[in-house]
Chain A
Amino acid sequence: MTFLHALWHYPFLQIVMLAGLASAVASGVVGPLVVSRRIAFMAGGIAHSVLGGLGIAHWLGAPPLLGALLAAVVSALLIAFASLRARENEDMLIGALWAVGMAIGIIALAQAPGYSVNLMSYLLGSLMMATRDQVVLMLGLNALMLGLLWLSYRPLMATLFDPEFAALRGVPTGLLYSGFLVVVALAVVVLVYTVGLVMVMALVTLPAATARLGTARLPAMMLAASGAAMLAVVLGLAVAYAGDTPAGATIVLCAALLYLAGLLIRHLAQRQRRHTQPKGP
C-alpha cells in the first residue's frame, strides 16, 4: 500500500499528518524570527530544559504537556531576565538551563515506570503516536502564538531589531522581548512532540534558512519557511512510511535536503544571471 493510500484509509496517519503540519506552522512562524535575531542558542536552551518539566510531570503523575509548557515558559522568562538585566551571564544561564533541565528530566524519568520508552520518545519525538487531543492542543498553541505575534508585530519588530530606538519611542521592550521568548517556548513545545527535543533546533533553523535563500523580508520568509517545513513533513512521513524509518529524524533529514537543494538552486540562478548579464566594454 502506498503512502497516499494509507493516508486515505488510516485515520491514525491523518492525525500524524495533521500534527506534523501543525509543527510546520510553528517552525515556519517562529524559525525566521529566531534565525534573523540570531538566538538559536536560546531556543536550544529552552528546548532542552523542557525535558526537566516532562520528567517531573511524569514523576508526579501530572500531564506531561503541562510540565513541558511550564518548564519552557519558566526557562524563557529566566533567559529574558538574564538578557535584559545581566547580559554578561546570559550564555552561562542558557548553558545551565540546557544541562540542568536534561539532568533533572533524566533523573525524574528514571524514577517513573517505563523510563527508557519515555526518554527516547521525548528525545527523538513520538509523531507516529500523536493523538487527536494532542493535535487540538498543538493547533491551539499555534493559534495563541500567531495571535500574540499579530497583535504585537510592529512594536515587536522594533524591539527585536532596534531595542534602543524602540525604548526611546516609549515601547516596553522588556515586556515584549519576554513575551516573544514565551512564544518561542510555545513553538518549542509543539516541535518537541514531533521531532523530539534533540532535533527541535533543526526544525527551527533549517526551514527558516531555506526561506532566507529566497527572500530577505520577514512576512515572505515566514510563509516560505512554513511551506518548506510542510514539504519536509510530508516528504519525511512518506519516506518514513515506505522505509520504516523514525519519522522525526526522517523529517529533519528532508528539511536538510531541502536546504541543500535551495543552496544549489540559488547557486545555479546566480551563475545563470552572471552569464546572461551584458559584458562591459
Chain B
Amino acid sequence: MAITSPPLLRLEKVAFSYADGAPVLRDVSYRLDAPRLVAISGPNGGGKSTLLRLIAGLLTPTRGDIQLLGGSIRQQRHRLGYVAQYPTLQADAPLSVRDIVAQGCLGARWWQRLDQADHARVDEALATLNIADLQRRTPRALSGGQRQRMLIARALAARPEMLLLDEPCAHLDHESGDGLLTTLAALATRLPILMVTHDLEQAWPHAGELLHVDRCLSRRSLTLPDIHPTAHGEAAHQ
C-alpha cells in the first residue's frame, strides 16, 4: 500500500484583506510537494509580499486555509525561516556576523548558552552562504549582498524546513544577485525556498517554478524543463 506524505505547503482558497476592506489576495490555491526554488513575481501591490507573510504566519488569512509541513501555520511556523524585504536588524548593530548568524539558534531554549551543536550549525550556515571569512566583521563593514547572505545564513542556522525570502536581490547589483541565486538554487535541492522577486529575468534561470501573483495566483507559462526537469508544481487557481 502506497503511503502519501502530506504536501510541504498547501494553500486552499486563501483570501486576505487589510482592515480597510480592500482585497489584497483572493481565492489563492497552491500546492508544493517537493523542495525547489519557487520564484514569485507580479506587479507592485499585487500581493506577493502579503502572500509570503501569510505563509510565514505574520498575517492571518481572512478566508481559506494554509497547511504547512502537514500542520497548521500556528503549529509549524517555528519550522520556517523568513527574511523580510526590509530587514529589521539595526544596520550598525555592534555585533559580529557570527553573533548575528548565531541568533538563528535562539528558539525554544532561548535562555541557554550555545553548545557545540549550535556552533556547528552556525559554521554550516556561514559556509553554505560563503561568508565564513566575514564572520568577525560587523554588519556596518559588509556590502549589501554580504549583508543579505548573513541574514539568510541566520535563517538557515535555525535549521528551517522551508525558507521564505522577500526580495533577497532587491539591493544587489546584477552580479551579486546572480551569485546569491546560484547559492539558493543549490540549497533548494534539499530545502524548499519561496522567493518573492521583482526581477523575473534574473530569477528564471535559477528557479524551479515561477508563480505570478496579481491579487490571484497563476503559474507562469515560462517554465524551464531543460534547466529544471524536476519542476512539477501545480497551481489550482488560473
Contacts and interface: CB of A to CB of B under 8 A. Distances in A.
B110 A170 contact: yes
Nearest to B89: A162
Q: Assign chain A's interface to a size class.
A: 20 to 34
Interface stretch (A149-157, A195-203, A268-276): A149-157
B7 to A, nearest CB: 23
Contacts, number: 73
Nearest to A162: B89
Interface stretch (A3-11, A19-27, A213-221): A213-221
Chain A facing B: main interface SS: helix
B106 A221 contact: no
A162 B90 contact: yes
A161 B110 contact: no
A111 B128 CA distance: 68
Given A36-B94, A216-B94, A164 B88 contact: yes
Interface string B110-121: 110110000000
A105 to B, nearest CB: 34
B102 interface: yes
B80 to A, nearest CB: 9
A216 B138 CA distance: 7
A230 to B, nearest CB: 21
Given A162-B93, A163-B88, A221-B94, A154 B113 contact: yes
Given A162-B89, A169-B106, A155 B111 contact: yes
Interface residues of B, number: 30
A171 B89 contact: no
Contacts of B90: 36-37, 160-162
Given A154-B113, A157-B99, A216-B141, A166 B106 contact: yes
Contacts of A171: 106, 110
A152 B111 contact: yes
Nearest to B151: A165
Contacts of B93: 36, 157, 161-162
A151 B113 CA distance: 9
Contacts of B89: 161-162, 165
Interface string A20-48: 00000000000010001100000000000
A168 interface: yes
Contacts of B99: 157
Most buried by B among A166, A169, A171: A169
Contacts of B140: 216
Interface in A128-158: 151-152, 154-155, 157-158
Contacts of A212: 94
B25 interface: no
A29 B108 CA distance: 28
A34 to B, nearest CB: 12
A140 B76 CA distance: 44
B153 to A, nearest CB: 13
Contacts of B88: 162-165
Given A154-B102, A162-B90, A170 B107 contact: yes
* 5 pairs of A and B residues whose beta carbons are closest in the complex: A161-B93, A164-B88, A218-B94, A169-B106, A162-B89
Given A36-B90, A37-B90, A162-B90, 12 more contacts: A154-B106, A162-B89, A164-B84, A166-B103, A166-B106, A168-B77, A170-B107, A170-B108, A172-B110, A216-B138, A217-B96, A217-B138
8 contacts: A154-B102, A154-B113, A155-B110, A162-B100, A165-B88, A165-B154, A171-B106, A172-B110
